[in-house]
Structure 1
Amino acid sequence: MVTLAFDVYGTLINTQGIQYTLAEMLHDEQQAAAISRRWREKQLEYSFRRGLMEQYQPFSVCTRQALSFALSEANVALSDDQCDQLLMAYRHLPAFPDAVSLLQQLSSMGVDAFGFTNGEAAIASELLANAGLIEDLKGIVSVDLLRTFKPAPRVYQHFLETADSSADNTWLISGNPFDILGARHAGWRTAWVNRTDAPFDPWGEAPDVTVPSLTDLAGKLGL
């Protein structure tokens, strides 16, 4: 039986769900959507930078600093309490609807499905529990113990050791192309969830499977 590693932020969990909390604060849905996107971009950028610099800070720190940047760039001033409210709301982001149905299906089939995340394990567990996904996952594997981030090669080896799996028997399912490329470099099989019909990075490599949603993934993987 294969082992499935599901990226959490952006694959199982809709990070853009935070824009609704922002919109309530700003009374401007368009601005809230733009800040939400920029927040996510800087969150990932900060994790990449820290990984390359070997100056680790937890993903929650990258998230807080990215929020500060996104608000400053947009010339939006929020109180400390409002920022804390946003960061707490980030632990209550919604699951993608297709994630709920797929994980339930995989659980009923006895497939080993894990959450695999740049976030700290405790925060990711809380997030997935709040989203109603935790019960259908065998476990959560976080990069926090290694003090670096995806797509560092040793992160993927850490998953294999934790899940007691092998590269040729493990699939990464992710909506993030950088994660797909990292897993392919580590010898894994990969499935890219391309919800926005975006082009893949032109690195001369492609995911083994590309799907527009998680709905038909089980069939695509031959499960």
Structure 2
Amino acid sequence: MSSEHLDQSLPSVDHPASPDGPRVPRLLIFDVNETLSDMSPMAKRFKDVGAPAHLAATWFAGLLRDGFALAAVDSSDSFAHIAAESLRVGLHGLPLNRGAADAVSYIMDGFAGLPVHDDVPDGIGALGGLGIRLVTLSNGSASVAQALFDRAGIREHFEGLLTVEDAGRWKPAPEAYAYALQECGVDPEDAMVVAVHPWDIDGASRAGLATAWVNRTDGLYPEYFSAPDLRAVSLTDLADQLG
């Protein structure tokens, strides 16, 4: 998606530096998987095919690891391909109640029906109402984000749905964030990445962007990663802080 196709006609607002926090951004860049989408229903998909429900979390962490590993050696592959192939490998040898290929397809189809987290519709609406531009930058495909937002009724708030598939490198590689900034025509100091993943916060921070960590589960932030500029328990909380 070229930057000339992104709608930059949103109302202009003053974005002064705050004495109590980072400069209010002109652009918010949202992670999608787990940050906006609620992936908990995927556990039932595993259970439906005869696999342990807890394997869903292990599988998702593993596919992210493999995407990062490819990025570390200057390579890349699509989220869908890595997800399906890692499923094929992870389900091997389990007493499934259907064929392996059918089980992989059934679990992958679960992405098409995921909901957003409860705080997302109101939070995105509130953030959009502040006059801040909103886009996504996902390690997944833009079509998955499009369908997710259409179901949730929030697509109108996003001027663009960006994916690392067009950047050629998965987050948290710096090239991924640079791609989003270039597409949106924004300098790093005017952008903020919003994510639930500390690794995404760290990568964005190292690329010069401001960051907001969404911590819905009262978790701990790893000290070996760059600390987020803002910490929020929900997107509505983040909107309150930025507003």
User: TM-score when scaled to structure 2?
Assistant: 0.82
**1: distance between equivalents of 2:115 and 2:161?**
18
Structure with larger Rg? 2
Aligned partner of residue 109 in structure 2, secondary structure? helix
**1: distance between equivalents of 2:220 and 2:71?**
25
- Shift in alpha-carbon separation, 1:12–1:187, aligned structure 2, 3 A: same
Aligned partner of residue 149 in structure 1, secondary structure? coil
The CA deviation at 1:76 is 4.1
Deviations 1:148-193 (A, max 9, x none): 1001111111111111211111111100111000010011111101
Relative to its length, the structure with more helix (as a share) is 1
1:143 corresponds to which residue?
164
Q: Say whether 1:122 aligns with 2:146.
A: no
For structure 1, which runs of at least 5 residues remain unmatched after alignment? Answer: none
**2: distance between equivalents of 1:53 and 1:91?**
31
The CA deviation at 1:66 is 2.4
2:118 corresponds to which residue?
97
From 194, 218, 227, the equivalent of 1:197 is 218
Q: What one-letter code is carried by the residue in structure 1 that aligns with 2:189?
A: D
Of 121-130 and 60-69, more deviation after overlay is shown by 121-130
Aligned partner of residue 162 in structure 2, secondary structure? strand
**2: distance between equivalents of 1:5 and 1:162?**
12
2:192 corresponds to which residue?
171
1:43 corresponds to which residue?
63
| Contact kept? 1:59, 1:120, Cα under 8 Å | yes
RMSD: 2.0
Say how many residue pairs are matched.
217
Q: Say whether 1:7 aligns with 2:31.
A: yes
Q: What one-letter code is carried by the residue in structure 1 that aligns with 2:92?
A: S
1:209 corresponds to which residue?
230
For structure 2, which runs of at least 5 residues remain unmatched after alignment? Answer: 1-12, 14-25
1:87 corresponds to which residue?
108
